[in-house]
């Protein structure tokens, strides 16, 4: 039973800081009580790179022999690190349990740089001299693709998803009042196996409340009802693309009921009487752009019809940034076969013109999303001419598509490398002067960053995550057999998770399991509560119960003592709350006791507690204090003796802090019965203090070993089987 308690405690103490709790390339707003109000890092400047790593730290871990370090995070190395505690590198548990054969196998940590793309789950050796596995997190969006805007101002956004799948996000009223902020999954999302979406590209408003998706991966054009949601099949799809193997984009002419499709083989497929025939008999006409009788089109992408002209963009070789072309074909309603282009535009910045739109009126304008050269190009014809000429351009990082909105505005999809910088941009086009980007709507997908990790006895993992309120907020996902995952694997964060409005999760931080593994405690910083779930009831499942009376402000982390049904909670106001009979009475009466770490003069020293773990063998409680979240030097570790009965201002048995430590924002910890492991976020390290119970009083000492983990967020121990 003693061994079980130690294992449970080691597997359940967890806490996690937000991106703002570090000086290493992140910024976060904080409230006066030190809590983090920006779990998704909304203070990042639009377009700001998010993969900046902290500088390599080389300060010695002791005054005698400086250990080298291993960086784990967006870039991972497995170089050696010197462990100054060479007498006990197997971190066995026999000192406190009396049970031989149980030892720490690995130390697990989460790395939480800004947003999601660079987040990692890492496995480390107990000596903290190497990383044995670095795992990425596969969210529900890989990259944005195209955007279309309805006459009502609603946006239709196609995206790529993991595993050769895709989806479509519907964001109502996006074009009417765009503002900087997260897109998430919009108001509705269409995704799942029934949709058949593989690699959706161009999207277009269709007839009778429908929209069309050019799916290059499925070699089809799929038609969905605008009000559709979830895993739904298309209303119908067009698989006969004539001579084209795939189409990249489509344009529907409502008054003529004709659909034009841009083929990646350089040919345009035309479907007449579209509302009735639905393209089921294949294209009625094929248009091939030629010049002097010779085909000049290679790889069509953008397409639109305005008035009596068909406009096309051709990216040519997508790996070449100088061979792009634009074509204008007159009288498309009667065009068929080889058709001489009325105008061809090449050269300049035309490399990969992936999309285009044309506005009419006093100044007809051709807008081109030029991806290879990072520009939105503007063409206009001279006063008395028809041929379009380049006027100017706006710098845009990897524009993927362009759509027209009301009030002289454009809506762009921007698709730089990686997900974190993808977004929907609003471009204001004044009557006089250059266009300007006035809004960036980014952070696609339901997950914006990972938080704490907990390990179950079978080797499964549970990971808390932040999400945008627009996409049902935060949650916890399950990672089956995570301890067996191979280095470099991507962990699926979508298939099995507790997530949705019914969960009530806002900003989950520390998570912990009971010994039986059938109760998951979640410290929800977002609404100052502790929520308890059945960890195998996934989906939009409400908590079994909620502890709303915390006896003070929000708590960051919790730890559960099975033998006594007692829950310890670390408050961001510097106090510890203790709930007796936590599962029996479901916290209905609030905490039984509250205490504050104090010095020998009975003066409170707790400021902003985060990590917490109770050791039932020694009856000690271990705490981390991040202090001021904007300072990377004022962190502390407290050891509280006699924790089961502590109340009021309690003098700490040990207090580790000061200029010789690397404690800035120590946000999580784990204890194996002898050694204490700490996730130190501000310094991007996981630290180890050997024989932590041998330290008493005020201790301004460095750790015994460390390894670099970018923005370390939480830490957990994996034990061998007894």
Alpha helices in 121-189 (DSSP H): none
Mean pLDDT of 677-706: 97
- Same domain? For 211 and 265 the reply is yes
Report the relative pairing of strands 268-271 and 475-479 from DSSP bridges.
unpaired
pLDDT of residue 50: 30
Residues 6 or more apart in contact with residue 130 via CB below 8 angstroms: 70, 78, 79, 80, 81, 124, 707
Is the same domain home to 334 and 469?
no
In this predicted structure, which of 15-24, 156-165, 414-423, 514-523 has the lowest mean pLDDT?
A: 15-24
Instruction: Quick: pLDDT tens for 549-563.
Output: 999 999 999 999 999
Look at residue 72 in the predicted model and tell me its pLDDT. 55
Does position 58 have pLDDT exceeding 80, yes or no? Answer: no
**Residue 32 phi, psi (nearest 5):** -65, -20
Question: 147 and 203 in contact (C-beta within 8 Å)?
Answer: yes
Q: Is the pLDDT of residue 599 over 90?
A: yes
Q: Is the pLDDT of residue 320 over 80?
A: yes
Return the CATH number at 467: 2.130.10.10
Same domain, residue pair 510 and 547: yes
How many structural domains is the chain composed of?
Answer: 2
Residues of the chain above pLDDT 70, percent? 86
- In-domain check, residue 264: yes
Does residue 463 form part of some domain?
A: yes
Three-state secondary structure string covering 275-315: HHHCCCCCCCEEEEEEECCEECCCCEEEEEEECCEEEEEEC
Domain assignment of residue 168, given as a range: 143-444
Strand order in the sheet with 104-111: 490-492, 131-138, 120-124, 104-111, 712-719
165 and 191 co-located in one domain:
yes
Q: Is 625 helix (H, G, I), strand (E, B) or coil?
A: strand
Looking at per-residue confidence, does 335 or 179 come out higher?
A: 335
CA distance 483 to 184: 30
Counting Cβ atoms within 10 Å, is residue 692 exposed (0-12), middle (13-18) or buried (19+)? buried
Tell me: do 115 and 212 sit in the same domain.
no
Instruction: With CA atoms as reference, report the closest residue to 20 among 682, 611, 583.
Output: 682
Evaluate if residue 75 carries a pLDDT over 50: no
**Per the domain annotation, does 214 fall within a domain?**
yes
Task: Check whether residue 483 and residue 621 sit in a common domain.
Answer: yes
**pLDDT of 21 over the 90 cut:** no
Domain boundary among 420, 444, 468: 444
Phi-psi region of 671 (alpha: psi -120 to 50; beta: other; left: phi over 0): beta
Q: Measure the CA–CA gap between 204 and 212, rounded to whole angstroms.
A: 5
Sheet of strand 666-671: strand arrangement: 71-72, 705-709, 685-689, 676-680, 666-671
Residue 561's closest CA among 603, 592, 596?
592
Asked whether residue 148 is assigned to any structural domain, the reply reads yes
Name the token pair of 164.
Answer: 């050769």
The answer to whether residue 393 is domain-embedded is: yes
pLDDT at 1 over 90: no
Q: What CATH number does the domain containing 294 carry? A: 2.120.10.30
The values of phi and psi at residue 517, to 5°, are 75, 15
**Residue 27: pLDDT band by 50, 70, 90 thresholds?**
very low
CA 386, CA 379: separation in Å to the nearest integer? 11
Across the range 55-77, mean pLDDT stands at: 38
| Domain-located, residue 346 | yes
CA 66, 68, 72, 74 dihedral sign is: positive
C-alpha distances in Å from residue 408, one per residue of 392, 404, 432: 17, 8, 11
* Residues forming a β-bridge with 401: 413
pLDDT grade, residue 426 (50/70/90)? very high
Quick check: 94 pLDDT over 50?
no
Environment class of 255 (CB within 10 Å of its CB; exposed 0-12, middle 13-18, buried 19+): exposed
Residues with Cβ within 8 Å of residue 603, at least 6 apart in sequence: 649
- What pLDDT does residue 434 have? 87
Whether the per-residue pLDDT at 351 is higher than 80: the answer is yes
Domain for residue 614, yes or no? yes
Give the residue carrying structure tokens 């962190």: 635
Residue 434's contacts (CB-CB under 8 Å, 6 or more residues apart) are 392, 394
b/e map of 207-221 (b: 16 or more CB within 10 Å)?
beebbbbbbbbbbbb
Q: Same domain, yes or no, for 407 and 459?
A: no
Question: What pLDDT is attached to residue 26?
Answer: 34
pLDDT in tens, 189-240: 999 999 999 999 999 999 999 999 999 999 999 999 999 999 999 999 999 9
In a domain, 384, yes or no: yes
pLDDT digits (tens, 9 = 90+) for 609-618: 999 999 999 9
**Cβ proximity of 106 and 124 under 8 Å:** yes
pLDDT at 587: 94
232/184 same-domain check = yes
Residue 177: what pLDDT? 79
Q: pLDDT higher for 522 or 88?
A: 522
With 50 as the cut, is the pLDDT of residue 547 above it?
A: yes
pLDDT at 33 over 60: no
pLDDT at 101: 54
CB 136 within 8 A of CB 468: no
pLDDT at residue 47 tops 60: no
Specify the range with the lowest mean pLDDT, choosing from 4-13, 451-460, 678-687. Answer: 4-13
Q: How many degrees, rounded to 5, is the angle at CA 69 between CA 65 and CA 72?
A: 165
Model pTM score = 0.83
Reply yes or no on whether the pLDDT at 473 is more than 90: no
Which pLDDT score is estimated for 92? 31
Q: Which of 444, 475, 497 is the last residue of a domain?
A: 444
Average pLDDT, the chain: 87
Q: How confident is the model at residue 385 (pLDDT cuts 50, 70, 90)?
A: confident
Q: Residue 643 pLDDT > 90, yes or no? A: yes
pLDDT, average across residues 267-277? 98
pLDDT of residue 49: 30
Q: Is 177 helix (H, G, I), strand (E, B) or coil?
A: coil
pLDDT at 51: 32
Label residue 73 by pLDDT band (50, 70, 90): low
Q: What is the average pLDDT across 42-64? A: 31
Judgement on whether residues 337 and 465 belong to the same structural domain of the protein: no
- Tell me what pLDDT residue 29 has: 34
Nearest CA to 510 out of 714, 712, 688 is that of 714
Report the alpha-carbon distance of residue 479 to residue 722 in Å, rounded. 23
E strand map for 383-518 = 389-395, 399-405, 409-414, 423-428, 436-444, 449-455, 461-466, 475-479, 490-492, 497-499, 508-513
Q: What angle do CA 244, 281, 215 make, to 5 degrees?
A: 45
Rg (CA), the chain: 29
Tell which of 421, 444, 467 closes a domain: 444
Q: For a pLDDT cut of 90, what percent of the chain falls above it? A: 80
* pLDDT: which is higher, 342 or 56: 342
Answer yes or no: do 459 and 310 share one domain: no
| Same domain, residue pair 377 and 468 | no
Question: In the predicted model, is pLDDT for residue 93 greater than 60?
Answer: no
* CA–CA distance, 708 with 122 (Å, rounded to integer): 11
Residue 527 phi/psi, 5° resolution? -125, 20
Residues 564 and 480 in one domain: yes
Lowest mean pLDDT: which of 43-47, 107-111, 708-712?
A: 43-47
DSSP classification of residue 514: -
């Amino acid at each position: 039973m003693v061994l079980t308690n130690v294992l449970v405690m080691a597997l359940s103490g967890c806490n996690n800081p937000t991106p703002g709790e570090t000086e290493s390339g992140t910024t976060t707003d904080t409230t006066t009580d030190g809590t983090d109000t920006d779990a998704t890092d909304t203070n990042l400047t639009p377009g700001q790179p998010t993969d900046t790593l902290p500088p390599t730290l080389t300060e010695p871990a002791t005054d005698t022999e400086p250990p080298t370090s291993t960086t784990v995070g967006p870039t991972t190395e497995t170089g050696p690190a010197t462990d100054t505690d060479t007498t006990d590198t197997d971190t066995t548990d026999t000192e406190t349990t009396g049970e031989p054969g149980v030892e720490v196998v690995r130390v697990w940590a989460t790395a939480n740089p800004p947003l999601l793309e660079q987040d990692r789950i890492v496995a480390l050796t107990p000596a903290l001299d190497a990383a044995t596995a670095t795992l990425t997190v596969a969210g529900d969006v890989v990259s944005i693709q195209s955007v279309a805007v309805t006459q009502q101002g609603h946006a239709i956004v196609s995206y790529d998803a993991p595993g050769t799948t895709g989806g479509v996000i519907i964001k109502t009223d996006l074009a009417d009042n765009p503002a900087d902020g997260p897109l998430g999954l919009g108001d509705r999302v269409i995704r799942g196996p029934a949709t058949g979406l593989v690699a959706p590209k161009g999207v277009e408003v269709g007839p009778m409340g429908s929209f069309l998706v050019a799916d290059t991966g499925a070699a089809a054009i799929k038609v969905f009802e605008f009000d559709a949601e979830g895993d739904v099949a298309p209303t119908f799809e067009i698989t006969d693309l004539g001579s084209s193997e795939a189409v990249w984009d489509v344009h529907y002419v409502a008054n003529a009921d004709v659909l034009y499709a841009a083929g990646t083989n350089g040919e345009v497929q035309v479907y007449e009487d579209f509302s009735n025939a639905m393209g089921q008999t294949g294209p009625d006409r094929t248009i091939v752009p030629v010049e002097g009788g010779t085909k000049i089109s290679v790889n069509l992408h953008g397409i639109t019809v305005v008035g009596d002209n068909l406009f096309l963009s051709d990216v040519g070789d997508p790996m070449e940034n100088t061979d792009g072309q634009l074509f204008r074909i007159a009288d498309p309603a009667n065009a068929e076969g080889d058709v001489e282009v009325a105008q061809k535009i090449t050269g300049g910045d035309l490399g990969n013109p992936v999309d285009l739109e044309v506005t009419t009126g006093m100044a007809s304008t051709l807008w081109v999303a030029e991806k290879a050269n990072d520009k939105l190009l503007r063409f206009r014809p001279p006063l008395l001419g028809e041929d379009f000429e380049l006027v100017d351009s706006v710098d845009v990082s990897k524009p993927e598509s362009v759509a027209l909105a009301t009030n002289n505005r454009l809506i762009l999809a921007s698709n730089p490398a990686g997900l974190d910088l993808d977004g929907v941009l609003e471009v204001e086009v004044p009557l006089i002067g250059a266009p300007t980007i006035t809004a960036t709507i980014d952070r696609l997908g339901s997950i914006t960053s990972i938080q704490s990790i907990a390990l179950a006895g079978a080797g499964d993992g549970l990971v808390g995550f932040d999400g945008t309120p627009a996409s049902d907020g935060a949650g916890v996902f399950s990672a089956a057999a995570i301890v067996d995952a191979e280095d470099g694997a991507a962990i699926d964060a979508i298939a099995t998770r507790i997530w949705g409005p019914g969960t009530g999760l806002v900003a989950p931080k520390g998570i912990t399991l009971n010994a039986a593994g059938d109760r998951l405690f979640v410290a929800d910083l977002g609404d100052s509560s502790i929520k308890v779930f059945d960890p195998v009831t996934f989906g939009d499942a409400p908590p079994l119960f909620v502890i709303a009376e915390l006896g003070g402000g929000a708590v960051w982390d919790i730890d559960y003592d099975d033998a006594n049904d007692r829950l310890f909670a670390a408050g961001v106001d510097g106090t510890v709350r203790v709930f007796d009979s936590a599962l029996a009475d479901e916290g209905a009466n609030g905490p039984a006791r509250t205490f504050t770490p104090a010095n020998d003069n009975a003066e409170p020293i707790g400021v902003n507690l985060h990590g917490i773990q109770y050791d039932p063998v020694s009856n000690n409680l271990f705490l981390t204090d991040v202090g001021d979240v904007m300072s990377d030097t004022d962190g502390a570790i407290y050891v509280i003796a006699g924790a089961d009965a502590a109340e009021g201002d309690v003098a700490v048995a040990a207090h580790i802090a000061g200029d010789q430590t690397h404690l800035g924002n120590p946000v999580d910890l784990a204890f194996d019965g002898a050694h204490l492991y700490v996730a130190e976020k501000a310094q991007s390290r996981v630290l180890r203090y050997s024989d932590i119970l041998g330290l008493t009083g005020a201790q301004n000492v460095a750790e015994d070993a460390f390894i670099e983990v970018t923005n370390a967020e939480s830490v957990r121990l994996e034990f061998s089987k007894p």
